[in-house]
Structure 1
């Protein structure tokens, strides 16, 4: 096999793995606040399990990158899958015995699993060259489209599987999906091009982090993922508080997730034609539009439409940011650069998801959406400037 052939094979394997592993975050994020509302003694803590999921993502990213750099992608991902199995079992048991803190431990462990799953998008670019790199990232995210259906549907189908303890079945199904991903990951292969000379090769992390394009790529990822998590964490609780059913909230998250991943069929081509920065900038504008729709009413249609627009905006901005990161490092530097990127992205996600509960409890759903506009404006300006700079003809 040539390097490109291995890259294409891995694209298919990682897309399937994403379809299974990517179903875990929707389960945690759609149910974490609702379970927290039932188990937490203080209403301000209802979204704390979702926050701990984000903490697990952030804290798990650097060691996950280190493990994969030392022992290979496949071995690292198999370890991550074991975290996924454990997280579902612990969370389910926490709900069964009505222990808020044990459930929180399960959510945190799910975040550790997610730190491996999130790096599937980077692994897809290993050994890929030219336009195939952006397409590989985009196509692996297509696996999230399947996860967008599987996760919320599992919530609905298995919510009452254990009589008298709602949602235990949902987290048991999360553990089962993590178990199923193991044989898929065994098919992963390492392209010869990604064999590295050592863990310390290339520039230092400090040098990489001082590159303006890397700073912009990380900031774009932080804002896009952070704002999406901020809204997604609060939305199910806000819908139930507004008098809508739990099933409506779960379906709203499902529509949101479908919108997050469905554009991945063509996002790679859009980046190839218009540039990564332009696509990311359009995503930021759509995030602002989603806030405007949410502010226009409290009907189910307002929630669902705003969540769908938010999903498309996240797809463009986050995949654009991911592709920008891959342009900022060499093969020797990728573990450091990608681990640092995910640490900042998911660290911010943990913070805003915790804040979402407090803001929702004290100020309401509208305050959540008003807070989207300033960070969008802050990141949109440099994105547009960078896009214009890269498309400008060279000076004579």
Structure 2
């Protein structure tokens, strides 16, 4: 029953990732990136309230943790009326010029994976989102274990997770505006760089300051990369036509994050905290190099495709 309940919660949680795409599709042109960061404000609230609500709910009933699941159920029910307030769905716009080969009916349908493979924005999102999610998951899962093995207090272990969550969501207050000013490519490079900085801090030792820096940087780096990757994906299709491409990227991100979570205990058991941080550098370093080269080489093509997608939007509105 516990495994079944957890699976259902996971299925519920998996739908949450699509909310940001809906927000971007419904936002007016020029405010799509801003809408992505606004959606993430909810995570900031959870980062501050979660560490206090979780232990209080777990002790609310005679049987421990019954209140925790009751709280999750109440939050899930509270989301239903909020979802019903969405008064309209984004209507599909025509494909960018040259992308559709299947006829007029297909033009109003979801963008195909074949279209996505030829779009550098989609390719970038398909690389950035899974790998950044995997690195963040790896650090988040290992951090509390490493804190215990380093003989830090339980309070520090809780603080590591709390400030990691703050790092994941607090930058949404500025990252959306920053991305609007410097673009998703520079934002993604900034995020990867911050993640690498956290890897350096973790590799330097298992002291409280080093671990806290590593956990915060992993969260902040993920925020920037997550927003940039989502912006790349939103730019890869016309409004209302992204369901298939979204599913591919979300599925890949979830699968890679699951693998990172499953491997985190083995990585810590065999490598320890410091070498696990070196592993972050081993993955993040090549990712940074790839993004610099691929992004620079395809910047012109990506911008051209983005303009084509934008020019198709009035078709849907008409």
The TM tier, using the shorter chain, reads 0.7 to 0.9
SS for the counterpart of 1:330 is: coil
Partner of 2:21: 122
Matches within 5 A, 1:168-179: 168-179=66-77
How far off is 1:159 after superposition? 3.8
Partner of 1:48: none
- Measured in 1, the distance between the counterparts of 2:168 and 2:34 equals 16
- Measured in 1, the distance between the counterparts of 2:270 and 2:180 equals 44
> Does the aligned pair in 2 maintain the 1:222–1:344 contact within 8 Å?
yes
Partner of 1:366: 274
Partner of 1:184: 82
How far off is 1:124 after superposition? 0.7
How far off is 1:284 after superposition? 0.4
- The answer to whether structure 1 residue 262 and structure 2 residue 170 are counterparts is yes
RMSD: 2.6
How far off is 1:194 after superposition? 5.1
- Measured in 2, the distance between the counterparts of 1:275 and 1:262 equals 19
How far off is 1:153 after superposition? 1.9
- Measured in 1, the distance between the counterparts of 2:88 and 2:157 equals 41
How far off is 1:375 after superposition? 1.9
Partner of 1:62: none
- The answer to whether structure 1 residue 282 and structure 2 residue 195 are counterparts is no
> Does the aligned pair in 2 maintain the 1:156–1:250 contact within 8 Å?
no
SS for the counterpart of 2:75 is: helix
Q: Which digits, 9 at most, give the CA deviation of each residue in 1:253-303, with x for residues without a partner?
A: 111111111111221221121110110111001111111112223233322
Match 2:214 to one of 306, 325, 336: 306
Matches within 5 A, 1:153-302: 153-163=52-62, 165=64, 167-191=65-89, 193=91, 201-302=109-210
- Measured in 1, the distance between the counterparts of 2:149 and 2:254 equals 27
- Measured in 1, the distance between the counterparts of 2:285 and 2:196 equals 9
Matches within 5 A, 1:1-396: 102-163=1-62, 165=64, 167-191=65-89, 193=91, 201-389=109-297, 390=299
> Does the aligned pair in 1 maintain the 2:110–2:244 contact within 8 Å?
no
| Structure 1 residues 245 and 275, CA gap change in structure 2 (3 angstroms) | same
How far off is 1:200 after superposition? 7.8
Q: Which digits, 9 at most, give the CA deviation of each residue in 1:310-352, with x for residues without a partner?
A: 1111111111000000011123531001111100011100011
SS for the counterpart of 1:341 is: helix
| Structure 1 residues 121 and 202, CA gap change in structure 2 (3 angstroms) | closer
Q: Which runs of 5+ in 2 are unaligned?
A: 95-104, 304-318
| Structure 1 residues 181 and 127, CA gap change in structure 2 (3 angstroms) | closer
TM-score (norm 2): 0.82
SS for the counterpart of 1:129 is: coil
> Does the aligned pair in 2 maintain the 1:281–1:383 contact within 8 Å?
yes
How far off is 1:195 after superposition? 8.6
| Structure 1 residues 370 and 191, CA gap change in structure 2 (3 angstroms) | same
Higher mean displacement: 344-353 or 302-311: 302-311
SS for the counterpart of 2:205 is: coil
> Does the aligned pair in 2 maintain the 1:198–1:332 contact within 8 Å?
no
- Measured in 2, the distance between the counterparts of 1:380 and 1:391 equals 19
| Structure 1 residues 164 and 361, CA gap change in structure 2 (3 angstroms) | farther
Equivalent pairs counted in the alignment come to 291
| Structure 1 residues 347 and 298, CA gap change in structure 2 (3 angstroms) | same
